[in-house]
Structure 1
Amino acid sequence: MSTDLLAADVSYLGDDDSEFFRTVHGRSLNTLNSRYMLPADRDEVKRSELHHRLLQFVFEGRNYIGPVKEALQFGQQRRILDLGTGGGFWAIDMADNFPRAEVIGIDLAPIQPRTVPPNCTFELCDLDQWSIPYPDNHFDFIHARSIHTGIRDYPRFLEEINRLLRPGGLVLLIEPSLVPIADGKPATEYPNGTGLHGWFTLWETYRACLKTQGIDTTVPQRLVELLAATDAFEKITVQDGNIPVGFWPSDPHSLTVGQLQWMDYELFLPALKPFFLSSGIPEAKAERIIADAQRDLYYPSFSPSTQLHIVYASKYLY
């Protein structure tokens, strides 16, 4: 599969949406949140679609796990909220799957397609700064994936999800770990200078830059703990799994997942450059960190993977 074929028909909303974008070190970024330094451009839309297709394979062709149909069955208005929708692929698919439900996707930048199902809309909001502008108990199902790196106060974010969900509503959280794995062992178990050194160094640098912005990089592995701390959810269910990176798996399903994750990371690595430079890393060093990680991605000496943390839960009825 070529990434050149992905998201080829994506166009930005509005005749002139330039006010929502800024150029930083050669990449287009959002203007709503100056601290969120991943791009908002065509390559990032491609990466958003790759991540979406990968999760569809993980979920065996579906867009979710958990009792989603049950949650929507008992909702009066059947409303679905996608937080950090990115390219909008999940929201669009859910609108197609549930044509009687209203689906809303929220993101920092208008990088979603113009042509969408009639029951799907996209809106702009900085989830890290403002309250999410919907009434209490408004949604039946809330979905959020791969967005903790843009949320400084994740417990507050979960309280906001609690406010927005109706009693009995469902939340699904998906966050990849920021600690890479090689040959089944996390980077933290390898002595310094061993393993996929370039790959490990990139992720260590990324975590360090996030921490300087006040981001808790341990959120993915603590999703259950954080959800439980709200005292608002029951039936908290975990479905974690290791996602291969690259072309080393032997079975066809895992190989496809590994290829999609590899293509995701191929776009992700250069996308980190504006963040590294804005964090004070000299350009030559940032380029070397990325180049060394690319070498390990293209020519790995170990079998790399990443852990995906998946949690869903229902809001208490009382």
Structure 2
Amino acid sequence: MSAYPHHLFSRPVYEVDFVGSDDSALFRTVHGMRFNATNPRYMIPADEDARRRSYLLHNMVWFMFNGKAYIGPVADVLRSRRDHGQRHIIDLGTGGGDWAISIADEFPRVEVTGVDLAPIQPRLVPSNCTFDVCDLDFFELLYPPSTYDFIHARAMHTGISNYPRFLKEVGRMLRTGGMVLLIELDLEPMADGRMESELQGYSGLSGWFALWRAYHHCLHRLGGIDVTVPQHLGELLAEAGQFEHISTRVGDVPIGFWPRDPLRLTIGEIAWMYFDSLLPSMLPLFIDSGYSEGHAKVLIRSAQEDLYHPIVHMSTRLHIAWAFKK
């Protein structure tokens, strides 16, 4: 259960355990698809496909991190509390809850809270794992200060209109010496290891690149989202002024079945399934951003053609940063 009583919250936060069997009030239907009712600007469906994408992303990162749910000295941070008090982890943008559940299993004496816009997480979870529903774009003061030993946020910057403000909240919530781990997929696709800006003319992925240009436009128009956040995680942590010992990594993510190395092939297969599921889910976002339904469908079909029948190697990048609260 969250540490603050619910009647103190300035915006509603619902614990998934207490939502019950009827969670219809936390969803809305748009263009025949189910969306969260918490943040109307976030126009990616919250349905079974979203839960599946969350699971795929979790596994893709797990393979990239060599069979672990995290990177960096997380275990050391959780052991380092000198007061021997209860340790707390919060997973911001938990999606289907796979990461929160896995970390709760790994650290059974640590309290783990997953937070997302919609209750698409399973109800049967480890006893030290709970889920909250709230809008992380406006969650100032919803969670107690200097409480969390480890904060994890993965693939959720597209729901945050002011990422520097978000990082200041993260810093407020962390105890001194606590660790934050940020993981974001790049929104700049690559062909044969090069971004569109690095290519001169023909890319072999015209439909794929066109879709991501349109996606950038939609994110900016509907939510004012900064699509360059993944590339600047380390700089943003430094500018927040609350963190030290900042580390960054960039991992190459193959998309498809072209890698010969078995591990990279596995990552590429999972990434392909992730994007195959994501493409049709973008339709409502395009329509609400002013594209006609016909134009939006052409964008998606052209990108699918490149995904299903690639003539060059498709990839993207995974940006990772971790730091410690001063």
Band of TM-score, shorter chain: over 0.9
Deviation at 1:187, TM superposition (A): 1.6
* 1:13–1:111 Cα contact (<8 Å) kept: no
**TM-score, L = length of structure 2:** 0.92
8 Å CA contact 1:108, 1:126 repeated in 2:
yes
CA-to-aligned-CA distance 1:226-254 (integer Å, 9 cap, x gap): 00001211111111111000000001000
Aligned to 1:239: 249
Q: Specify the alignment match of 2:270 in structure 1.
A: 260
Identify the residue that residue 4 of structure 1 maps to in structure 2: none
Pair 67,270 (structure 1): closer, same or farther in 2 beyond 3 Å: same
Distance (Å, rounded) in 1 between the aligned partners of 2:203 and 2:38: 40
Question: 1:1-318 residue pairs with structure 2 within 5 A?
Answer: 14-75=20-81, 76-131=85-140, 133-191=142-200, 194-212=203-221, 213-316=223-326
Alpha carbons of structure 1 residues 273 and 193: separation in structure 2 relative to 1, 3 Å = farther
User: The residue matched to 1:87 in structure 2 has which SS?
Assistant: coil
1:31-77 deviation line (CA, Å, top 9, x unaligned): 01000001100011001000000000000110000110111112321
Q: List alignment gaps of at least 5 residues for structure 2.
A: 1-16
Counterpart amino acid of residue 177 in structure 1: D
Letter of the 1:109 partner, please give it. Answer: A
Q: What whole-Å deviation, never above 9, does each CA across 1:271-295 have from its counterpart, x for those lacking one?
A: 1001011111000000000000000
Distance 1:132 1:287, change over 3 A: farther
Alignment TM-score, normalising by the size of structure 1: 0.94
Q: Distance in 2 between matches of 1:268 and 1:147?
A: 14
User: Which is worse superposed, 124-133 or 108-117?
Assistant: 124-133
Give the length in aligned residue pairs: 306
Maintained 8 Å contact 1:146/1:175 = yes
**Residues 105-143 of structure 1, C-alpha deviations (whole Å, 9 max, x = no match):** 000000000100000000011011232522110100000
Counterpart code for 1:46 = R
Farther-moved stretch of structure 1 (293-302 vs 128-137): 128-137
Bigger CA drift: 132-141 or 62-71?
Answer: 132-141
In structure 2, the CA distance between the partners of 1:44 and 1:117, relative to structure 1 (3 Å rule), is: same
- What secondary structure is seen at the aligned counterpart in 2 of 1:240? strand
Q: Give the % identical residues.
A: 54
CA distance in structure 1 between the aligned counterparts of 2:217 and 2:323, rounded to whole angstroms? 31
* Counterpart amino acid of residue 190 in structure 2: I
Q: Distance in 2 between matches of 1:188 and 1:211?
A: 19
Distance 1:275 1:192 in 2: 28
17-26 vs 287-296, which moves further: 17-26
The runs of 4+ residues in structure 1 deviating greater than 2 Å are: 190-195
**Cα separation, 2, equivalents of 1:140 and 1:178:** 30
For 1:120 and 1:132, the matched residues in 2 are separated by: 21
SS of equivalent residue, structure 2 residue 211: helix
Q: Distance in 1 between matches of 2:180 and 2:319?
A: 14
